[in-house]
């Protein structure tokens, strides 16, 4: 099998068997990302303890790439420090905007690389990540407000 | 300008046209990415070699400024530009060539009527009617002008087959109705609207009608005098012509009531410090250096379509669409939108497959060399009516064939195999 086929299998596995997908009622913070162009709607929720993302979960509807990417994100970011999660998000965004061709430092994300050839679907990949990015923004804002 | 002489439509017998041979007229099928099953003509049609060559010829041999010079090249440029206008006028049977205003697109044409015409006459409480199936191009300009003038934008609803429901459109032909703006063919459903009947009823109450003909001109014979509409808008690129040029047809008295959208060079009679006056129609609506090569390419596309025959093209595309409809109907979990079998429809077929996002269908289709569209097709109000955020859409033109439909079906089955619930 070519690398592309392997990567497709990885993405399909996440689509058919999404990790950490479910209700977000018990999550500390929830953010919604939507792409009105195609009707994708993803909600990302986190529980955080002592500066570490303890749980990252999502729910919603979208295309296979959007859902697979969200599923991969929950796996890759659970257990990361907030700052590390932020760095990973930035690297993924750079990778997809072609400002940094080096892969993000997490080999579990390698499969997403096949989507880089399809710029029209960049937003599908990034939707969940942007929602998580906004959660991190809010945590930062809160922490700045409490420690001016 | 002289009135356009009306010749009888020169059309070959539909049976006699060898559409398979016509594919060779389109270089993209030989030089582009292979295989190419191009089923996105409702977004933009492919171009025959004659259109491409006419544009090249214009720039290589005949290029000069239009209506701005006294030397031979400038004079011939002006003549080619006006000859193109006559060709378009003749094509839709406009009474006079000056009833054709060249614009960038059908979108610009509709905006010209919204801002240059409706905005002047609309009073608070007046109504503009559009249908639920309109493209944003024939929706947003009216939404804005209504908002600006405290007027009401009213919607002609659709029935279950995707046909407009005139019985549920109370007030459509009423005293407050100031304009009906409606597409002739839906870019999502393929519905063909009964424009003649709507215009006839509107005429009784003296209500003007604008026809968004972006999906109909070049796909079926159009006769604006027979339709009796006040305005009609279309683009060249959806009818095998170049991008960047379209036209607005208007009855002479309606165009006389319309203010130009753009002011500048070429559209004035006299300019003074305090006040100015506009040039004659249609020049007053065509400020800036005209798109000569676009107009030439547009006219060449029209000549090409006429040489095949509009009825033949229409029939061919309907046959292909029916075949696609039948083929796709056999797929489990598919939902086909728009008029069902037995009802008239054009060459546009939207669908969804249960549990599979249309973007994924289009993505997998692309891997089969099948180009289809997926999204809301600039018809969000229609998507709301259908209860979906997007659909996949296959659309057909004269260069499509049965193999394209077979490839589409194979792609859909593959999408189901890959992404269907396991």
CB spacing of A16 vs B422 below 8 angstroms: yes
**How many residue pairs from chains A and B have C-beta atoms closer than 8 A?**
38
Is residue A146 a part of any domain in this protein? no
Task: Judge whether residue B6 has pLDDT over 60.
Answer: no
User: Cβ of B390 under 8 Å from any chain A Cβ?
Assistant: yes
Question: Angle at CA B373, nearest 5°, toward B160 and B238?
Answer: 95
How much is the average pLDDT of B44-72? Answer: 96
How much is the average pLDDT of B46-61? Answer: 98
How much is the average pLDDT of A130-135? Answer: 96
Q: What is the pLDDT of residues B67-114, one digit of tens each?
A: 988 999 999 999 999 999 999 999 999 999 999 999 999 999 999 999
Segment holding A146, helix H or strand E: helix A122-146
Structural domains in chain A (count): 1
Q: Listing from the earlier edge strand, what are the strands of the sheet with A40-49?
A: A29-35, A40-49, A52-61
CB spacing of B357 vs A15 below 8 angstroms: no
Structure tokens at B64: 């000069």
Lowest mean pLDDT among A35-39, B104-108, B251-255: A35-39
Of B358, B389, B418, the CB nearest to A12: B418
Q: SS3 letters for chain B?
A: CCCCCCCCCCCCCHHHCCHHHHHHHCCHHHHCCCCCEECECCCCCCCCHHHHHHHHHHHHHCCCCCCCCCCHHHHHHHHHHHHHHHHHHHHCCCCCHHHEEEECCHHHHHHHHHHHHHHHHCCCCCEEEEECCCCHHHCHHHHHHHHHCCCEEEEECECCCCCECHHHCCCCCCCCEEEEEEECECCCCCEECCHHHHHHHHHHCCCCEEEECCCCECCECCCHHHHCCCEEEEECHHHCCCCCCEEEEECHHHHHCCCCCCCCCCCEEEECCCCEEECCCCHHHCCCCCCHHHHHHHHHHHHHHHHHCHHHHHHHHHHHHHHHHHHHHCCCCEEECCCCCCCCECCEEEEEECCECHHHHHHHHHHCCEECEEECCCCHHHHHHHCCCCEEEEECCCCCCHHHHHHHHHHHHHHHHHHCCC
Nearest residue in B to A41, CA atom: B389
CB spacing of A12 vs B374 below 8 angstroms: no
CB spacing of B357 vs A62 below 8 angstroms: yes
Question: Angle at CA B394, nearest 5°, toward B391 and B400?
Answer: 175
Task: Judge whether residue B295 has pLDDT over 50.
Answer: yes
pLDDT score for B384? 93
pLDDT score for B15? 55
How much is the average pLDDT of B367-371? Answer: 96
pLDDT above 90 covers a percentage of chain B that reads 93
Q: Which residues on adjacent β-strands are paired with residue B315?
A: none
CATH of the domain at A133: 3.90.1010.10
Q: What is the pLDDT of residues B318-359, one digit of tens each?
A: 999 999 999 999 999 999 999 988 899 999 999 999 999 999
Task: Judge whether residue A1 has pLDDT over 70.
Answer: no
- A39: helix, strand or coil: coil
CB spacing of B357 vs A64 below 8 angstroms: yes
Task: Judge whether residue A38 has pLDDT over 80.
Answer: no
Nearest residue in A to B389, CA atom: A39
How much is the average pLDDT of A92-96? Answer: 95
Average pLDDT, chain A: 92
pLDDT score for A36? 79
Nearest residue in A to B391, CA atom: A38
Q: Which residues of chain B lie closer than 8 angstroms to A39, CB-CB? A: 376, 388-390
Residue given tokens 């392997």 in the structure block:
A6
pLDDT score for A145? 85
CA distance B180 to B382: 18
Average pLDDT, chain B: 95
Task: Tell me which residues of B are annotated as active site.
Answer: 378
Contacts of A62 (CB under 8 A, 6+ apart): A35, A38, A39, A40, A41, A42, A70, A124, A127, B357
Is residue A147 a part of any domain in this protein? no
Q: Which of residues 88-107 of B touch A (CB under 8 A)?
A: none
pLDDT score for B8? 40
Q: Which residues on adjacent β-strands are paired with residue B247?
A: B102, B234
Residue B125: how many other CB atoms lie within 10 Å: 11
Q: Which CA distances in Å does A119 have to A42, A97, B274, B298, B411?
A: 20, 9, 52, 31, 21
How much is the average pLDDT of B41-68? Answer: 96
pLDDT score for A2? 65
CA distance B370 to B156: 34
pLDDT-derived band at B34 (thresholds 50, 70, 90) equals confident
CB spacing of B389 vs A39 below 8 angstroms: yes
DSSP A85: H
Nearest residue in B to A115, CA atom: B363
Q: Are B44 and B238 in contact (CB under 8 A)?
A: yes
Structure tokens at B198: 């709507």
User: Cβ of B37 under 8 Å from any chain A Cβ?
Assistant: no
Q: Which CA distances in Å does A3 have to A39, A112, A113, B149, B176?
A: 30, 12, 11, 59, 64
Q: What are the backbone dihedrals phi and psi of residue B350, each rounded to the nearest 5 degrees, phi first? A: -100, 145
Q: Are A21 and A12 in contact (CB under 8 A)?
A: no
User: What domains sit in chain B, N to C, each tagged with a CATH number?
Assistant: 14-47+309-419 (3.90.1150.10), 57-306 (3.40.640.10)
Q: What is the pLDDT of residues B14-33, one digit of tens each?
A: 558 999 999 999 999 998 78
CA distance B107 to B234: 8
How much is the average pLDDT of B237-265? Answer: 97
- A47: helix, strand or coil: strand
How much is the average pLDDT of B225-229? Answer: 98
Task: Judge whether residue B186 has pLDDT over 50.
Answer: yes
Which residues of A have a CB under 8 Å from any CB of B?
Answer: 12, 15-16, 36-40, 62-66, 118, 121, 124
Structure tokens at B205: 């109450």
Structure tokens at A21: 């997908």
CB spacing of A39 vs B422 below 8 angstroms: no
CB spacing of B374 vs A38 below 8 angstroms: yes
Q: Which residues of chain B lie closer than 8 angstroms to A62, CB-CB? A: 357
Complex prediction ipTM: 0.86
Interface residue of A7, A64, A115, A123 to substitute, partner B, most B CBs within 10 Å: A64
pLDDT score for B366? 95
Q: Give me the domain span that covers residue A97.
A: 3-138
Residue B122: how many other CB atoms lie within 10 Å: 22
């Amino acid at each position: 099998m070519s690398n592309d086929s392997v990567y497709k299998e990885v993405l399909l596995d996440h689509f058919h068997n999404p990790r950490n997908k479910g209700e977000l009622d018990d999550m500390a913070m929830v953010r919604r990302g939507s792409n009105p162009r195609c009707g994708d709607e993803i909600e990302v929720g986190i529980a955080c303890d002592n500066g570490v993302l303890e749980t990252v979960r999502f729910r919603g509807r979208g295309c296979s790439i959007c859902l697979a990417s969200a599923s991969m994100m929950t796996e890759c970011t659970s257990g990361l420090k907030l700052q590390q999660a932020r760095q990973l998000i930035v690297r993924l965004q750079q990778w997809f905007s072609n400002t940094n061709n080096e892969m993000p430092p997490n080999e579990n994300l390698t499969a997403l690389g096949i989507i880089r050839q399809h710029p029209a679907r960049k937003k599908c990949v990034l939707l969940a990540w942007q929602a998580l990015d906004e959660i991190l923004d809010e945590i930062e804002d809160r922490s700045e407000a409490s420690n001016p | 300008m002289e009135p356009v002489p009306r010749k009888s439509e020169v059309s070959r017998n539909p049976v006699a046209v060898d559409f398979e041979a016509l594919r060779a007229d389109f270089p993209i099928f030989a030089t582009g990415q292979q295989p190419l099953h191009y089923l996105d003509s409702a977004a933009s049609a492919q171009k025959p070699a004659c259109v491409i060559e006419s544009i090249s010829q214009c720039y290589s041999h005949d290029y000069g400024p239009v209506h701005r010079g006294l030397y031979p090249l400038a004079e011939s440029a002006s003549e080619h530009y006006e000859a193109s206008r006559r060709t378009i006028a003749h094509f839709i049977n406009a009474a006079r060539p000056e009833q054709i205003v060249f614009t960038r697109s059908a979108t610009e044409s509709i905006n010209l009527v919204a801002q240059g015409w409706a905005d002047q006459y609309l009073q608070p409480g007046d109504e503009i009617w559009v249908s639920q199936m309109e493209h944003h191009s024939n929706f947003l300009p009216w939404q804005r002008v209504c908002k600006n003038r405290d007027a009401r934008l009213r919607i002609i609803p659709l029935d279950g087959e995707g046909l407009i429901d005139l019985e549920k459109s109370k007030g459509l032909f009423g005293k407050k109705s100031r304009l009906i703006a409606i597409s002739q063919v839906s870019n999502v459903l393929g519905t063909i609207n009964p424009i003649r009947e709507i215009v006839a009823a509107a005429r009784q109450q003296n209500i003007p009608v604008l026809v968004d003909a972006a999906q109909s001109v070049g796909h079926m014979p159009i006769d604006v005098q027979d339709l009796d509409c006040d305005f009609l808008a279309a683009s060249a690129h959806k009818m095998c012509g170049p991008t960047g040029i379209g036209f607005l047809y208007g009855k002479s008295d309606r165009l006389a009531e319309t203010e130009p959208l753009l002011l500048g060079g070429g559209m004035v009679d006299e300019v003074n410090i305090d006040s100015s006056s506009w040039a004659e129609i249609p020049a007053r609506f065509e400020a800036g250096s005209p798109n000569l090569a676009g107009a030439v390419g547009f006219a060449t596309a029209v000549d090409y379509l006429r040489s095949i025959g509009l009825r033949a093209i229409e029939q061919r595309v309907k046959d292909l669409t029916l075949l696609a409809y039948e083929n796709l109907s056999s797929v489990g979990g598919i939902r086909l939108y728009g008029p069902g079998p037995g009802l008239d429809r054009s060459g546009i077929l939207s669908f969804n497959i249960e549990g599979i996002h249309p973007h994924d269908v289009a993505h997998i289709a692309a891997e089969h060399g099948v180009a289809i569209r997926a999204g809301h097709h600039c018809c969000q109000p229609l998507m709301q009516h259908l209860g979906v955020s997007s659909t996949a859409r296959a659309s057909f033109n004269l260069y499509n064939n049965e193999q394209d439909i077979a490839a589409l079906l194979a792609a859909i089955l593959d999408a189901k195999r890959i992404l269907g619930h396991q």
